[in-house]
Amino acid sequence: MNLPDTQTKTDAPQALLASQVQGGSTARAWDSYLSKQLPFDRLRAWTKRGSQSVLQQGLFAGAHFCANVLIARWLVPESYGAFALAYAFFLLLLSVYMALIYEPVLVYGAVRYRESLVAYVRVLLGGHAILLAPMSLLIVIVAPVIGRFYSHEFQQGFISLAGAAPLLLLVWLVRGVFYAKLSPRAGVIAGGCYFVGLLFGIAALHYFGILSPATALAAMAAVSLAVSVGWLFAMAKHERESPRVPGMWSKVLSDHWSYGRWAALTALASWIPANIYYALLPARFGLAATATLRAVMNLMYPLLHSFTALLTLLIPILVRQRELQGLQRAKQTTVQLITLYVPVGIIYLVIVNTFHNPLLRILYGERYRDLPALMIFCVTLLPVTTGVFGLLSSALRSFEQPHLVFRGCVASTLSAIVVGVPITLRFGVSGAAAASVLNDLAAIAVLGAYLATYKGATEVPA
């Protein structure tokens, strides 16, 4: 990635940062410091923060990856399929939550509320409770209806989401603040605690013979609560208390709703092509087919989650780059990152396709083997297509244009319904994997066109 031209470095970093901190926030000092560095120095600075961000994401995502592997290894396919299906419904809640809470924190917390962070987080915690209470109630109401179409074990797992979802989502609020502050080091500590706690919890459930979809979700929720409360306590103890801002509640709600109304629609539209096949496969092929799809999908997550860490860090970076250096520079950065990422994804695809049989045997023993080559190829292609989609959508989100991302997700949803559903019902897990790639390609075409033609801020449609 080409770095912007800068002035020659003339001051020592410590002196420059000290003078900047005296007149403003640490985040502003960091921006000023970077703007005065030679390209190599700035590359080293961003490499350090980027590596910490990847490590944080790797710990959280690695915990979920390892937990999924252990659950798939220790439960029969039908039970793991029930867990995968319940978790797919949780991802729907997560998508809405990220739209209304997490993503706006990345956009607004990085600049607009960084001088009143503690007060901002306090408002977000209240919004978290207000948003999740009706969601939990809805889960309890819907559970008996959904239970008529799936197994009793899935119904138990789905009901457990009523209590687990608010706690599972709380850790995402905490992580959003880490990224908005551009302080991934704190996230690394939290991620390490989460990793150890979750794997210990899953192993303990297996040891005592009580591992099930419901208890696995409960373990994830308990660890999320512990990590979130620990960080919030540390922030209250060490962060400078933000002054009370008149009308803070109304301002935050207005900002989050202005951004999140489109992001929420985008979340709903993006959930369908990504997760509809988990719910669709049992109708014809049983929960074991859902388990197979999820087990193979686990192969793509190491690369995809690592890249997602950089995507999350990218949004506040592009926001600041747009403000300091202009829209065109932010667009150029996005294109450069795409050209860097795609070859990495292709190398990952080749490696996993070559060694997928021993990999599956190492992860799951003899449970998932002799799978169709087309399915493996499509699943390992997903990190490439999903990564490009993520870069394009992150850029448009940083431009505060989530309604354009929504249109791309609508294209993906239409592809899932018109093309994905028929080929999944016809070809099973192989059809579902191929359909997922086609859905990404439809979204990439739309978002790429919008990024190329976008000229600047416009009035967001009401």
Give per-residue burial for 203-216: e unless 16+ CB within 10 Å, then b. eebbeeeebbbbbb
Whole-angstrom distance, CA of residue 331 vs CA of residue 162: 41
Write down how long the chain is: 462
Answer yes or no: is 21 within a domain: no
Q: CB count, 10 Å around CB of 239?
A: 12
For 371-429, the pLDDT digits (tens) are: 888 899 999 999 999 999 989 988 888 887 878 888 999 999 999 999 999 999 999 99
In a domain, 254, yes or no: yes
Q: What is the total count of domains within the chain?
A: 1
The answer to whether residue 448 sits within a structural domain is: yes
The answer to the question of residue 302 being in a domain is yes
Distance set, CA 27 to CA 17, 169, 178, 258, 275 (Å): 10, 26, 12, 25, 38
Residue 38's pLDDT is: 43
Residue 274 within a domain: yes
Q: Are 151 and 85 in contact (CB under 8 A)?
A: no
Q: Domain for residue 76, yes or no?
A: yes
Looking up tokens 């457990």 gives 160
Residue at 386 is within a domain? yes
* pLDDT (0 to 100) of residue 144: 81
Q: What whole-number distance in Å separates Cα of residue 21 and Cα of residue 26? A: 6
Q: What pLDDT is attached to residue 83?
A: 92
pLDDT digits (tens, 9 = 90+) for 323-363: 777 788 888 888 888 998 899 899 999 999 999 889 898 98
Q: Is 456 left (phi over 0), alpha (psi -120 to 50) or beta?
A: left
Q: Which of 200, 202, 221 is nearest to 90 (CA)?
A: 221
Residue type, 461: P
Domain range for 100: 43-453
> Cβ–Cβ contacts within 10 Å for residue 101, how many?
23
Residue 26 counted as domain residue: no
Rounded CA-CA distance 74/72 in Å is: 6
**Residues of the chain whose pLDDT is less than 70?**
1-54, 110, 179-185, 236-245, 309, 312-313, 457-462
